[in-house]
Chains A and B, each alone.
Chain A
Amino acid sequence: MEYFTQQLINGITLGAIYALIAIGYTMVYGIIGMINFAHGEIFMIGGFISIIAFLLLGLFGITWAPLAILVALLVTMALTPLYGWALERIAYRPLRHSPRLAALITAIGMSIFLQNFFQLVQGARVKPIQPIVTGGIEIMRRGDFVVTLGYLQILIVVLTVALMAAFSLLIQRTSLGRAQRACEQDLKMASLVGVDVDRTIAQTFIMGAALAAVAGLIFLLHYGVVDFYIGFHAGIKAFTAAVLGGIGSLPGAMLGGLLIGLIEAFWSAYFSVEYKDVAAFTVLVVVLIFRPTGLLGRPDVEKV
């Protein structure tokens, strides 16, 4: 029971990261129907900007954790979306009316470009950082085994839930969210009734990138390292999460992220760490066999 609880806590933490990235995938897919393969790289960039912010703050002697995290959060949420915007403007907007595979190839190309470019300018080694948030609450104990709920894990969950709540409100209540929902239903119709489609899509990319940046920050706080390959793995895992939940559906992305995180944590704990990715993909395949549009996806009715 204690072991189970500990894994539950770990799984939820991991799931929060996946869910935050998955939202970016699912929103972009919902609106323009393309797999934004470079989104994992945006997450990586978010992690890098965070570590640079922390190191700079350390240089100025600001090490008080809440302030440092707040500043790093603001910096990464301000700078990373620029990449999301530039990505859309350079690589995707010119291909809006082209075959869908064209945009997929530019996305993969951008992903390769960004990964190697930052490897060149920052060096290929793993970048470590001192733990910033330490300690936790002991919630259960049996013999030597102590279940702790780290302050960091509390922070991660609170941050994720707050962001998702704010984000859902943004989608539900504001005119920007209304424009996004309109674009998701029908791009051409939305533009006919006066929605600035280009602008809305750009804003979607910016919002997705901001959430991925937060995921990058959380990744850095949780694991203490970033490198150039985190983008790829986290990216496909988050995309798996988005598909699992039903791509195009926001609650689906959150649910899918959480599920993938839990599956990985429990599989690693009870079976084998090596095959945790295999487990995640297997669950995806099994779910898709029985629900071809994911857990919360709308069935795709095709009219002739």
Chain B
Amino acid sequence: MAARSSASVPANDILRQSALAGLLVFGLAVALVGVRIQDGSAAALAPLHFRFDDVLTAAAAAALGRFGVLLLRAGLHAPVAAGGAAVALAVALAQWFAPAHPLRLALLFDVAMPNWLIVAFAAFLALCAAWRLRHAPVAVMQGADARESVMDHLGAQVQRIARFAGPLILLLAIALPLMPFADRRLIDIAILVVTYIMLGWGLNIVVGLAGLLDLGYVAFYAVGAYSYALLAQNFGLNFWICLPFAGIMAAFAGVLLGFPVLRLRGDYLAIVTLGFGEMIRIILLNWYQFTGGPNGLTGIPRPSFFGLPFTASPPEGTHSFHTFVSLIWPIEFSPNHRVVFLYYVILALAMITNLFTLRIRRLPIGRAWEALREDEIACRSLGINPTNTKLTAFAIGAGFGGFAGAFFATRQGFVSPESFSFIESAVILAIVVLGGMGSQIGVVLAAVLLIGLPEFFRDLHQYRMIAFGAAMVGIMLWRPAGLLAHREPTLRLSTQGGPP
């Protein structure tokens, strides 16, 4: 990090580091990218397909990119700005205008995406350099610390305005289905995002407030979904009766798991919860008499609007949603009604979770959770029973997971163990941590970023998960405490003093 100040990096050191970066990428890529194991009919002709040209391109790009970054750090802004712009322009032009040109094929990747990445990175470097040319002395000396303090300030600001912005966002969310641009796809994505927001808020109780690392949250989601599916199928109960049961079942599962293991600390708890998540999935997969095994359960009843189903033509003598509303206000049947209704259901469930969390933080039990997160030994000495306190956090968090699971089941009309793999737990945890632990609005932001954005890029499905993983790493590196992390003490000693 000493390399930040200008002219402290000798030229041969820059060259050496760039060459090392190139060599490293060459070593990383030479086997796994350079040699493609063919399968299917292609394997009969030749078992291996070689792409060493791409490996060399990647190595050269890495060396050049590292060179640019080091030059930028050494304070040579002008050449980086010019060089970066030139590279970006050249690659973009070659990619755009000469897709089959032999020179392009020799120098660049065969597929478009990595080439565009090179363009983007080179352009980014050039922009950074150009920006620093204008604001040179200030920007160079400030590093990560300045960014941290700026972001922390921003987090504090967001928390301050959250009081007003929160209701505003809620109003926007309520008005969303009424907007002219709100088509079916958008509302579907919104439902998904709000589901994850709810899961994030539920997990936030466990991880953010009580400080227990839970890597198996999806287990409770699964318990909720299957509880609803089985109750509805076997006993014909409707969604609204099953919903509390699903939550209770999930909370019960939380107690069942939590009771033996909550005395464990930190990472031991993490692996046990992870194991529990896997166990639930394996049981769902293999107990097919009960859960339908890998095929899952189908034909789960859809929710009704206070007993009015969303069907086009209700049986004689009964009403469905649109015929009933038509008694007052004539409307046509539309399949979108149900989607919009589902959206409001999950929005309401999520808001209940949020309200619950906000209120319980002010109750003794909520304060005990936060105290336990900060220092377990101090809590013990103050007479707080750590196991019971943790158990309540675990059970309540699990319960909200169960509600979300019941909603998931009724929305999909179908549940299978596929939907409850570890990756879901990881995504929910990532939403909580990326948003800034304990920050309710941070969860919203992270869910929109991680779930909403990728949904719009479904066409690029093969790059979607790669970008998802890279984004998780990138955001954390950029802002290790979470996007909107700012910890304000919930209690102050003096009410008059206030913050300075």
- Chain A residues in the interface with B (C-beta under 8 A): 29, 35, 45, 48-49, 51-53, 55-56, 58-59, 75, 79, 82-83, 85-86, 90-91, 94-95, 98-99, 101-106, 108-118, 120-123, 125, 127, 232, 236, 239-240, 243, 247, 272, 274-275, 277-278, 280-282, 284-285, 288-289, 292-294, 300, 302, 304
Contacts and interface: CB of A to CB of B under 8 A. Distances in A.
B48 interface: yes
Interface stretch (B30-38, B173-181, B384-392): B30-38
A108 to B, nearest CB: 5
Given A82-B24, A105-B476, A111-B469, A59 B48 contact: yes
Given A109-B473, A280-B275, A281-B279, 11 more contacts: A91-B477, A95-B476, A102-B433, A106-B472, A112-B465, A112-B469, A116-B469, A121-B36, A123-B37, A127-B39, A288-B268
Contacts of A288: 261, 264, 268, 272
B271 A118 contact: no
Interface string B424-458: 00100110011001000000000000000000000
B40 interface: yes
Contact of A82 (B27, B37, B48): B27
B450 to A, nearest CB: 10
Contacts of A120: 462-463, 466
Interface in B461-480: 462-463, 465-466, 468-473, 476-477, 480
Nearest to A232: B422
A239 B272 CA distance: 11
Contacts of A56: 35, 48
A75 B27 CA distance: 11
Cβ-closest 10 pairs across A and B: A109-B472, A113-B469, A98-B480, A112-B469, A281-B275, A116-B465, A274-B286, A109-B473, A102-B480, A125-B39
B202 to A, nearest CB: 17
A108 B430 CA distance: 9
B148 to A, nearest CB: 10
A294 to B, nearest CB: 8
Given A56-B48, A106-B472, A121 B481 contact: no
Interface in B80-99: none
Given A91-B473, A122-B37, A285-B275, A53 B286 contact: no
A278 B472 contact: no
A45 B31 CA distance: 10
Interface residues of B, number: 59
B434 A236 contact: no
A42 to B, nearest CB: 12
Nearest to B375: A304
Interface in B32-56: 32-33, 35-37, 39-40, 47-48
Nearest to A124: B39
B355 to A, nearest CB: 26
Interface string B245-280: 000000000000000110111011011101110110
Given A49-B32, A102-B476, A112-B472, A289 B260 contact: yes
B275 A240 contact: yes
29 contacts: A49-B32, A52-B32, A52-B48, A53-B31, A56-B48, A79-B27, A82-B27, A85-B24, A91-B473, A99-B481, A101-B433, A105-B429, A106-B477, A109-B468, A109-B471, A109-B472, A110-B473, A113-B466, A113-B472, A114-B469, A116-B469, A120-B466, A125-B39, A127-B37, A232-B422, A236-B274, A236-B275, A239-B271, A281-B279
**Which of B213, B286, B422, B480: most chain A Cβ within 10 A?**
B480
A294 B265 CA distance: 12
B282 interface: yes
A285 B261 contact: yes
Contacts of B31: 48-49, 52-53, 75, 79
B468 A112 contact: yes
Nearest to A83: B28
B169 interface: no
B423 interface: yes
Contacts of B481: 98-99, 102
Contacts of B429: 105, 108
Contacts of A49: 31-32
Contacts of B264: 288, 292
Contacts of A240: 271, 275
Contact of A55 (B47, B423, B477): B47
Nearest to A126: B39
A29 B274 CA distance: 17
B377 interface: yes
B150 interface: no
A304 B379 CA distance: 12
B283 interface: yes
A228 to B, nearest CB: 11
A225 to B, nearest CB: 11
Contacts of B462: 120
Contacts of A243: 267-268, 271
A101 B469 CA distance: 16
Contact of B272 (A121, A284, A293): A284
A118 to B, nearest CB: 6
Contact of B47 (A59, A281, A289, A302): A59
Contacts of B285: 274
A78 B133 CA distance: 43
Contacts of B468: 109, 112
Given A101-B213, A102-B480, A120-B462, A281 B278 contact: yes
Contacts of A99: 437, 480-481
Contacts of A277: 278-279, 282
Given A95-B480, A121-B32, A300-B265, A52 B37 contact: yes
Nearest to B285: A274
A247 B264 CA distance: 13
B469 A110 contact: yes
B261 A289 contact: yes
A35 B270 contact: yes
Nearest to A58: B47
Contacts of A304: 377-378
Contacts of B37: 51-52, 55, 122-123, 127
Contacts of B35: 52, 55-56
**Which of B47, B48, B275, B462: most chain A Cβ within 10 A?**
B275
A113 B433 contact: no
Contacts of A75: 31
Nearest to B23: A82
A292 B263 contact: yes
B473 A275 contact: no
Contacts of B213: 101, 104
